[in-house]
Amino acid sequence: MRLVPGDAQGEPEQPGGSSGEDWLSSLRQEPDADVSPGQEDALGQAGSEEFSESETPDWLSRIRERARMETGAQAGESGAEDETPDWMSGLDSEPETGGADEGAASSSWLVEMEAAGGQADEPGTAPQGAAVAPSDPVGEEWMDELSAWRAGAESEPAEAASPVPGDLPGWLDDGTVLGEDLDGNLQLAQEPPESPAEAGSEDLLAGFAVEGESTVVQQPVEPDLPAPAEETPEWLRDFSSQAPAENSGSVIPLIETAGLEGISDDIETGVGIAAGELPDWLSEEGSPPSSGQEVEAPGEPLSEELARAELPEWVKEMRPIESVLPGEAAAVEPSQQVEQAGPLAGLRGVLPIEDLKTHYRKPPVYSARLRLSEKQHSHASMLESIVAQEAQPLLIPRTRARAPQVFTRVLVTLFIFAVLTVVRIFPLGLVPGALLAPPELDDMFNQIEQVSEQNAPVLLAVDYEPGRFGEMYFASLPVIEHLMAKNVPIVVLSTVPTGPALAQRLLQEAADDLREKTDQTYDPAVQTLNLGYLPGGTISLLEFAQLPSRAAPATLEGNFDIWKQPFLANVKGLDGFSQVIVLTDSAETGRAWIEQVKPLMGTAPLLMVTSAQAAPLLMPYLQSQQVNGMVSGFLGGVTYGQWRHVDTPADPYWESYQVGVLLAVGVILFGGLFSLARVVIRRKDGEGE
Amino acid sequence: MDIQLLLEIAGLFLTLVVLLYLIFGDNALFRLVTYSFIGVAAGYVAILVIFQVLLPRLSILLVSQEPVLVLIGVVEIVLGLMLFLKLWQHTSFLGALPMAILVGVGAAVTIGGSVFGTLFGQINGTIGLFDLQKGGNPLLRLLEGIFVLVGTVSTLAYFQFTMRSKAALPEQDGNARRSPVIKVLAVIGQGFIGITLGAMFAGIYAAAITALVERIGFIFDFVSRFVQ
């Protein structure tokens, strides 16, 4: 309840009569000129705001005058004094305070209001809780009906804003007793009001008072209500037309309270406490079922005005079975059930505990133990053992320290280096020269011995890397010197890019060594021809074997007329060469010459000077007669020189070479014996343990 | 100063730096010498290819009066340029044709040479060992032939890893095994393979010790000449 403006201190707002006083205070207020007539307030303020100065009915004006008078009288007495009239103060007072005096005062006011009700214009609007007092006979009729309805109305909602008995003014209590039962629910006495006007006014006020407190009914606000001056409002007509009959069940009661013994049938039949507040659709509802009755199925239409939605077929199919089974009593909606026991007894819409007990039960307890098959169990145990192995600490093997390895390597290197240097500096003469010559060396010697200067030139293929120059120099120099001693023209070719340069150096040194030893002159610039580098690897060898002039058209110096020179004039193919001597340090290169060139050489022999590392892999070709002679490594060069009975550049290094090889043999033997002994000792220790 | 002396001094320095690898392992000077050798070799090869391969061959083909040779020259130039474009990602697809030609021709030449040069030649040579009338002591020749034949067959049997279905059934320990005959031959073949590998190792060591001896002799000769 709001206080009337001007009440300075103001009474605390009473929950019981707050809404009634609001509308009443608003009625007392002068209308605001800016407020449009159409504006309404929700609860009780519409009356003062919607009436303009010209439309203010007489009864309302009298109310305002009285308010002014009361306000002026009270303001002179005390600023802090409550200006609320008696009947309103009765509303503000404690529940214990009696309302008899206020009831008398309010009664007189109501009488005046009712007397002037016929002169007042029908506002026409009847918002819920609006303080509209009909001033015409028609209005009196509806007020009478309202009061009559109210007399038979059920009790107020007993929720939080339930009106406390005693808070209502006395005039409102006249004829009606708001009592409480043991459950604290409001009850309406069955005693009808004494006078229609009074009853109507009481009904009106009570309705407004209750409405402000009740939170059950939420009625839509209609801004513009019809204002038939001489006609009962339609909504009220509906109420009146649907005067509740006993047990008609046309209106669903707002509240069903259990344990209320004094509730009349009218209450159960359920005309709303404030019939004006109920919308048409609610007012047209059938009487609510009693506690024993059942509510209609939810699927039934609530109002004729509401068009039933046309559900598609598939939605209809989804409808619960219970809703379509004929003859089966529909379950009472929880919202329609009235709680029978407990602290919520008498309330509607409480969730049924019994249903909850049946609907919700303790969930089944499932066993946490898995059901495993034997195979799954074996797999799981296997996986567990694998995982357990991961958790086990691994034995870190002892790592040997690196320092001893470095020391050993350095020691061995220095030892070998020292031995070779000493032997080179101080030759001991303990190691004799090569005495045995392998058969392939003999064959090569014989083949070269058969070549003369009148024969065709010899093709010399220099196909070794610069890193093997030392060994190949010692192995090939005697052979080249032998050729130069024969004055055989030599044509040099190379499939290695660095081969032409190596060949130049080899020929020059061989010529110089031959001149020093035998005083024989051999001019490499005249008697040798360097065809340079032959690109393409194996493919170029095949091309050269088929047509040498096309594969190697020019010399290393860029001379394109070499194939027209005398000693190459008769060379049309490889068979035009008297011999082919291949100097190589790689078994693959030697194999390429054997596979690609030898088949096209005809009767010309293929001779090879190889490194010691390639000789074992090229030996099968020697035994298959695909290679006609071979000199391999440092030993082969020294031996070839001994066969020619000439000194070779390799002779000073022969003793160092032999000592180095013997040293390697000794180290390998010693290392093998040492390892064997250690193994034997460890085994013995292991057996002893 | 004599160029030859400078070259010998440079050779001595490089030799000593390389020999330091035996004592100190991989070091900066060794890497310097290695990189220098690679660079010099690459430069020399580039010059050699340009002036001795490309220019002479192309000039001969292009200036030739024979149209066939000219056409061959043009084709060679085009294929070479297409192969050169393989350096860039966007044009690398053009190098697929010359690469295919190189790979295909190289494979054909290699396979043909291996079959006719090595396979047939070795088979013929092994068979020829049993030619007792060729010369020498027939018994020794026969034994030599048998020895070579057994070594060849056993070495090939060592690399035999296929089995029949019945023999492939796992035994008690779950491992599939070969037939007993193959097993015996494989063991013998292991011996021959071991001997071959040993001979190869000996040849490699001999080549290495020869290189070391030659380098030590070079150092000794230079120092002695320098001292004298």
Most confident of the ranges A14-28, A530-544, A579-593: A579-593
Mean pLDDT of all residues in A512-535 = 88
pLDDT of residue A579: 92
Contacts of A299 (CB under 8 A, 6+ apart): A319, A323
For residue A619, CA distances in Å to A591, A612, A630, A631, B122 come to 11, 11, 9, 11, 11
pLDDT of residue A596: 92
pLDDT tens-place string over residues B118-145: 999 999 888 888 888 877 788 888 898 8
Which has more pLDDT, A255 or B119? B119
For residue A379, CA distances in Å to A372, A373, A384, A389 come to 10, 10, 8, 15
Whether residue A154 is predicted with pLDDT greater than 60 in this model: the reply is: no
Most confident of the ranges A24-28, A310-314, A364-368, A383-387: A383-387
| Dihedrals phi, psi of A334, to nearest 5 degrees | -60, -30
Confidence of residue B5 (pLDDT cuts 50, 70, 90): confident
Give A348's strand partners.
Answer: A338
Three-state DSSP state, A629: strand
pLDDT of residue A290: 46
Neighbours of A284 (CB within 10 A): 18
Report which DSSP code applies to A193: P
Mean pLDDT of all residues in A511-532 = 88
* Residue A468 in tokens: 């093997």
Mean pLDDT of all residues in B199-216 = 92
CA distance A418 to A410: 12
Which has more pLDDT, B146 or A190? B146
Burial of B21 (0-12, 13-18, 19+ CB in 10 A): middle
> By the 8 A CB rule, do A236 and A271 touch?
no
Which has more pLDDT, A321 or A521? A521
Mean pLDDT of all residues in A247-275 = 48
**Are residues B217 and A424, on separate chains, in Cβ contact within 8 Å?**
yes
**Are residues A421 and B53, on separate chains, in Cβ contact within 8 Å?**
no
CA distance A120 to B221: 147
Three-state DSSP state, A482: helix
Whether residue A234 is predicted with pLDDT greater than 60 in this model: the reply is: yes
> By the 8 A CB rule, do A71 and A8 touch?
no
**Are residues B214 and A614, on separate chains, in Cβ contact within 8 Å?**
no
Mean pLDDT of all residues in A420-435 = 78
Report which DSSP code applies to A275: G
pLDDT tens-place string over residues A630-655: 999 999 999 998 888 888 888 888 88
CB of A407 within 8 Å of any CB in chain B? Answer: no
Which has more pLDDT, A630 or B164? A630
Which has more pLDDT, A283 or A368? A368
Which residues of chain A make contact with B23, given a CB cutoff of 8 A? 410, 413-414
pLDDT of residue A473: 93
**Nearest residue of B to residue A560 by CA position?**
B56
Question: In angstroms, how far is the first alpha carbon of chain B from the final one?
Answer: 17
CB of A652 within 8 Å of any CB in chain B? Answer: yes
> By the 8 A CB rule, do A550 and A543 touch?
yes
Q: What ipTM score was computed for the predicted complex, to two decimals? A: 0.88
Q: Rounded to a whole number, what is the distance in Å from the CA of B157 to chain A's nearest CA?
A: 19
CA distance A104 to A672: 135
Confidence of residue A295 (pLDDT cuts 50, 70, 90): very low
The residue type at A373: S
Give the range among A128-137, A511-520, B29-38 with minimum mean pLDDT.
A128-137
Residue A460 Ramachandran class (φ > 0 left, ψ -120 to 50 alpha, else beta): beta
Nearest to A62 by CA among A91, A27, A17: A27
Whether residue A244 is predicted with pLDDT greater than 60 in this model: the reply is: no
Whether residue A100 is predicted with pLDDT greater than 80 in this model: the reply is: no
The residue type at A192: P
CA distance B134 to A87: 154
Half-sphere exposure of A94 (CA within 13 A, CB side): 2
Interface of A with B in 300-339 (CB under 8 A): none
pLDDT of residue B153: 92
Which DSSP helix (H) or strand (E) runs through A671? Answer: helix A654-688
Which has more pLDDT, A525 or A264? A525
Q: Rounded to a whole number, what is the distance in Å from the CA of A680 to chain B's nearest CA?
A: 24
CA distance A476 to A638: 10
Confidence of residue A509 (pLDDT cuts 50, 70, 90): very high
* Percentage of the residues of chain A whose pLDDT score is greater than 70: 53
> By the 8 A CB rule, do B73 and B58 touch?
yes
The residue type at B27: N
pLDDT of residue A59: 80
pLDDT of residue A499: 92
**A656: nearest CB among B25, B202, B213:** B213
* Percentage of the residues of chain B whose pLDDT score is greater than 70: 94
Which has more pLDDT, A413 or B162? A413
Contacts of A15 (CB under 8 A, 6+ apart): A1, A161, A163, A164, A167, A213
**A556: nearest CB among B52, B57, B202:** B52
| Dihedrals phi, psi of B25, to nearest 5 degrees | 75, -155
Whether residue A519 is predicted with pLDDT greater than 90 in this model: the reply is: no
Mean pLDDT of all residues in A7-25 = 50
A and B: number of Cβ contacts within 8 A: 162
Whether residue A133 is predicted with pLDDT greater than 70 in this model: the reply is: no
Whether residue A214 is predicted with pLDDT greater than 50 in this model: the reply is: no
pLDDT of residue A291: 45
The residue to which tokens 């026991």 are assigned:
A341
pLDDT of residue A117: 54
CA distance A478 to A157: 133
Give A491's strand partners.
Answer: A459, A529
Give the range among A189-203, A485-499, B212-226 with minimum mean pLDDT.
A189-203
Which residues of chain B make contact with A596, given a CB cutoff of 8 A? 109, 113, 117
Which has more pLDDT, A305 or B191? B191
- Per DSSP, the residues of B125-161 read HHHHTT-TTSSS-HHHHHHHHHHHHHHHHHHHHHT--
Which residues of chain A make contact with B216, given a CB cutoff of 8 A? 417, 420-421, 424, 656
**Are residues A554 and B109, on separate chains, in Cβ contact within 8 Å?**
no
Question: In angstroms, how far is the first alpha carbon of chain A from the final one?
Answer: 107
The residue to which tokens 């004729």 are assigned:
A304
CB of B103 within 8 Å of any CB in chain A? Answer: no
* Residue A412 in tokens: 């061995």
pLDDT tens-place string over residues A552-571: 888 888 788 888 877 788 88
> By the 8 A CB rule, do A245 and A270 touch?
no
The residue to which tokens 């001979």 are assigned:
B199
Give the range among A215-224, A358-367, B140-149 with minimum mean pLDDT.
A215-224
CA distance A639 to A331: 123
CA distance A351 to A281: 25
CB of A600 within 8 Å of any CB in chain B? Answer: no
Which has more pLDDT, A557 or B14? B14
Which has more pLDDT, B86 or A126? B86
Nearest to A333 by CA among A295, A371, A299: A295
Whether residue A82 is predicted with pLDDT greater than 70 in this model: the reply is: no
pLDDT of residue A471: 93
Contacts of A523 (CB under 8 A, 6+ apart): A511
Q: What is the largest CA-CA distance in chain A?
A: 168
Distance between alpha carbon A637 and the CA centroid of its chain, in Å? 77
- Over chain A, what is the mean pLDDT? 70
Which has more pLDDT, A344 or A172? A344
Mutate to test the interface with B, among A440, A502, A634 (most CBs of B within 10 A): A634
Which residues of chain B make contact with A634, given a CB cutoff of 8 A? 206, 210, 213
pLDDT of residue B174: 57
Whether residue A532 is predicted with pLDDT greater than 60 in this model: the reply is: yes
CB of B206 within 8 Å of any CB in chain A? Answer: yes
| Dihedrals phi, psi of A578, to nearest 5 degrees | -75, -40
Q: Rounded to a whole number, what is the distance in Å from the CA of B75 to chain A's nearest CA?
A: 16
Give the range among A52-56, A58-62, A167-171 with minimum mean pLDDT.
A167-171
**Are residues B118 and A591, on separate chains, in Cβ contact within 8 Å?**
yes
Cross-sheet strand order for the sheet of A528-533: A528-533, A490-494, A458-463, A579-584, A606-610, A629-632
CA distance A282 to A218: 11
CB of A538 within 8 Å of any CB in chain B? Answer: yes
CB of A497 within 8 Å of any CB in chain B? Answer: yes
**Are residues B113 and A471, on separate chains, in Cβ contact within 8 Å?**
no
Confidence of residue A335 (pLDDT cuts 50, 70, 90): low
**Are residues B116 and A595, on separate chains, in Cβ contact within 8 Å?**
yes
pLDDT of residue A477: 94
pLDDT of residue A233: 63
- Per DSSP, the residues of A392-430 read SPPPPPPPPPHHHHHHHHHHHHHHHHHHHHHHHHS----
pLDDT of residue A325: 55
Mean pLDDT of all residues in A590-614 = 92
The H-assigned helical ranges of A519-570 are 524-527, 538-546, 548-551, 566-569
CA distance A168 to A659: 135
Confidence of residue A409 (pLDDT cuts 50, 70, 90): confident
Whether residue A34 is predicted with pLDDT greater than 50 in this model: the reply is: no
